[in-house]
Homo-oligomer: A and B are copies of this chain.
Amino acid sequence: MARPKSPLLTTGLIAHAALELIDSGEPFGVNALARRLGVRPSSLYNHVSGREEIIELVRGLISRSYDFTSADVHALPWPEAIEEYLRLERRMYTEHPNLLPLIATLTVTDDTAIAAYDGLATMLVRAGFPDDDVLVVMQLLDAFALGAGLDYAAPGDIWRPLGETAHLGRLLETAAPGRERSDRAFELGIRVLVSALQDMLTERTQGAAARTAD
């Protein structure tokens, strides 16, 4: 039998090539992806419905390579588990900075990514957060991890004043490099958020206890 000229197209192959294209920094699009795979765009459309489905496949691929649902993380007390979760999510964004803007504003449907968020929801429910707060807390944590990923992806010199400033220019001259500051900002943010969640839970629990005692 003659060997096929090109490997058979599968959604797995499409996702891998799409991630490579995104990581390369070249603009992402169905046509560019087809060129990279050496196929016609119409061949891609035999496997996926379009740009959004491809990005969602990439989200699945990347979610499987960061172990959000690891038993180790979920065995930790919830405040530490949340810290680990945030570190992992930020690492995912810092290691694939071009992916962040593509996946951030797309509905999550991929099974593995949903399982990761479901794990976080379960963690918060078990910790004792009222149902009404769980998704809000998840969106706050997600926003923080996304913002931290964007901050890390920013160039080393985030601010470059071209004229006089009251303080900014002076502070930049003696400051640590941008990414070192980004790490410090992230650690500060984690500490602050997790400790605020602990306070919030205490308040909610005491409030509920007081209502029960009435």
Q: Which residues of A contact B (CB under 8 A)?
A: 27, 97, 100-101, 104-109, 111, 114-115, 117-119, 121-122, 125, 131, 134-137, 139-140, 142-148, 150-151, 153-155, 157-163, 165-169, 171-172, 174-175, 178, 181-182, 184-186, 188-189, 191-193, 195-196, 200
Contacts and interface: CB of A to CB of B under 8 A. Distances in A.
The 5 closest A-B pairs by CB, nearest first: A147-B147, A101-B101, A143-B147, A192-B196, A139-B185
Which residue, A101, A106, A186, has most C-beta atoms of chain B within 10 A? A101
B155 A106 contact: yes
B192 A131 contact: no
Contacts of A150: 101, 104-105, 143, 146-147, 150
Given A143-B144, A167-B118, A185 B151 contact: no
A153 B114 contact: no
Which residue, A106, A122, A192, has most C-beta atoms of chain B within 10 A? A192
**Could you say how many copies of this chain the assembly holds?**
2
A-side interface mostly: helix
Contact of A166 (B105, B118, B188): B118
A107 B139 contact: no
6 contacts: A114-B163, A114-B168, A131-B174, A144-B144, A147-B148, A150-B150
